[in-house]
Structure 1
Amino acid sequence: MDFLKLSGKRFLIFGVANKKSVAAAITKSLLECGSLVTLVVRSVARREQVAKLFPACEVLVCDVEFEDQIAQLAAELSSREEVFDGLVHSLAFADYSDGMKPFHETPKKAFLQAVDISCYSLTALCNALKNKLAHDASVVTISISTTKMASENYGYMAPIKAALDSSIAFLTKSFSRFSKVRFNTVSPGLLKTSASAGIPGYVDSYLYAEQVIPRKKAVETQEAADVAVFLLSPRSSGIVAQSLVVDAGMSINYFDADIISRAMKSES
């Protein structure tokens, strides 16, 4: 039974890095639903790796940091008859090669590069590909569960994700002038991905999250992917310009009595 009505639907997914990435989990689920998936990665080397993971998918190359590559992708897709019923934007990058710094010491060049790749690329891609999206397509981007918590080991990415979250409202409004395309965000809590593992201090935060989450188990990548797949489906047609938090209840449990007790004892 095709409850989500995804069989035969066509999707364009940006951001598959490896089998542990959110985009990979979304791709796997869409294929299981009978969808047709085209993947877009940032380099030829990445294309070779991803093609082995998903041999049934066409894999295209586009580094969204470069406008000419976005234009080239749009030109290539415009020559084809098919349109896409949905687009997934699962792209983020931050250069922490100089180590984590206090937020007020954030290098301008690194910040603007992260904004370009992690946030502006959504607008750039949707503008370039607007004629390749179905009239009622669903666009889903991946954010984080909260952009207002000053997590020191997340560096300067939270303000950038906040801009991404805001973008979906403005994209929904501007696209409504000529289509019914809707934009939404999946905002997961801490995930165990290859990208997150490279962030200094992230593992400790992940383990702490497992203590705060009521079920004592962190959010799984597949759980975030499942929400994205739902948002891509016609079954979620009434959800527009929203950020769906997938944190397994972490945000309601920061003042858990056991955690408070342990913290106070450690200070005494």
Structure 2
Amino acid sequence: MPSEFLQLVGKRIAVFGVANRKSVAWHVAEELVEAGAEVLLVVRSPERRNSVAKLAKDLSIFVCDVEFPDQIEALVSELRQQYDQLDGIVHSIAFGDYSEGPKPFHETNKEQFLRAFDISCFSLVAISNALKDFLSPQASVVTISISTTRMASENYGFMAPVKAALDSSLAFLAKSFSKFSEVRFNAVAPGLLKTSASAGIPGYVDSYLFAERATLRGRAVQTAEVAAAVAFLLSPKSSGINAQRLVIDAGMEVNYFDQRLIAGFLGTDLPGN
């Protein structure tokens, strides 16, 4: 029997962004199924649906490329034909074109930046607006951000400002929806994760290994830990949390001056060694 603690049994939640078994969205789906929720997966293409179906077994899978408004409209129509409402949305969608390789931020291509913004940020607004009358009055919407947008990681480049805009949009969505509902908007903001999507970021592996050393526990953040936080924010147990970011970084942000990191940078031993 699923745990009753999160009170997600029977709740219907749409999870956008599953690509493969390493996806944050897939880990979230697994966590929600274990908690007794009814999970609807939304993927980018028919080809993706075919590959995800091998993982999803009995879960319903819908296709919607959020870059195209007509596909969002079609998705809403399809959902309305089959269900009466949604109790939650997980927005785990991000796209950045790094095909030109790493380059200084001031050389960011306008088309790259705007497309990344459209898919990674505005899609949350578009989806929320399209589904506003289909959400239960106390539904929860959770997006996936990053632990900090104030650290100028050169290889991450234009995606950090895009994620900052995503974070800011939470307050405005929460305020807008408060006029007619109690729908909540929050973000889970993890440190560096080992996913297929992150593998496409130039120099990511080195950054990941450093981030792992910088955590207080010396172990990297796990995708399953992120998924558990998402489930909590979808749950009625988090009903008092709105327009917030829940950082999941194993204490990394407080530990940059750790003696081990400094000694490693200087190539010296710790005192007493």
Q: Same fold (TM over 0.5)?
A: yes
The equivalent of 2:9 in structure 1 is 7
Whole-Å Cα distance in 2 between the matches of residues 265 and 18 of structure 1?
Answer: 40
Q: Are residues 1:75 and 2:77 paired?
A: yes
Pair 1:125-2:127 in alignment: yes
Q: Report the count of equivalent residues.
A: 266
- Given that residues 98 and 200 in structure 2 are in contact (C-alpha distance below 8 angstroms), is that contact kept between their aligned partners in structure 1? no
- Unaligned runs of 5+ residues in structure 1 are none
Q: 1:239 aligns with which of 238, 241, 244?
A: 241
Q: Deviations over 1:101-159 (max 9, x none)?
A: 10000000010000000000000000001111110000000000000000011121000
The one-letter amino acid paired with 2:246 is L
Identity, % of aligned positions: 63
**CA-CA distance at 1:259 after TM superposition:** 1.2
Offset at 1:265? Answer: 3.4
Q: Specify the alignment match of 1:204 in structure 2.
A: 206
**Matched residue of 2:41: which SS?**
strand
Q: 1:81 to 1:28 in 2, by over 3 A?
A: closer
For 1:172 and 1:79, the matched residues in 2 are separated by 27
Cα distance in 2 for residues equivalent to 1:162 and 1:190: 16
Residues 200-239 of structure 1 show CA distances to partners (whole Å, capped at 9, x for unaligned) of: 1000001111111111100000001100000000000011
Whole-Å separation in 2 of the counterparts to 1:44 and 1:258: 48
Does residue 24 of the first structure (1) align with residue 40 of the second (2)?
Answer: no
SS of 1:245 mapped into structure 2 = strand
Deviation at 1:264, TM superposition (A): 2.5
1:194 counterpart residue number: 196
Deviation digits for residues 166-209 of structure 1 (CA, Å, limit 9, x no counterpart): 00100000000111000000000000001111211000001111
Name the SS of the counterpart of 2:197 in structure 1: helix
Task: Identify the match of residue 152 of structure 2 among 150, 153, 160.
Answer: 150
1:84-103 alignment, distance < 5 Å: 84-103=86-105
Residue 258 of structure 1: CA displacement? 1.9
Distance, in Å, in 2 between the alignment partners of 1:212 and 1:32 is: 32
Deviation at 1:42, TM superposition (A): 0.6
Q: Work out the CA distance in 2 between the residues paired with 1:144 and 1:71.
A: 28
Q: Which residue of 2 is the match for residue 65 of structure 1?
A: 67
TM-score normalised to the size of structure 1?
Answer: 0.97
SS at match of 1:194: coil
Describe the SS at the equivalent of 1:94.
coil
Q: Which residue of 2 aligns with 1:176?
A: 178
- Distance in 1 of aligned mates of 2:21 and 2:127: 24
**Alignment partner of 1:229 out of 222, 231, 249:** 231
Which one-letter code corresponds to 2:142 in the other structure?
V
Runs of 4 or more, structure 1, over 6 Å off, are none
Q: Is the 8 A contact 2:98 2:202 kept in 1?
A: no
Runs (5+) with no aligned partner, structure 2: 269-273
Deviations along 1:86-110, one digit per CA (max 9) or x if unpaired, are: 0000000011111111000000001
- Displacement after TM superposition at 1:81 (Å): 3.9
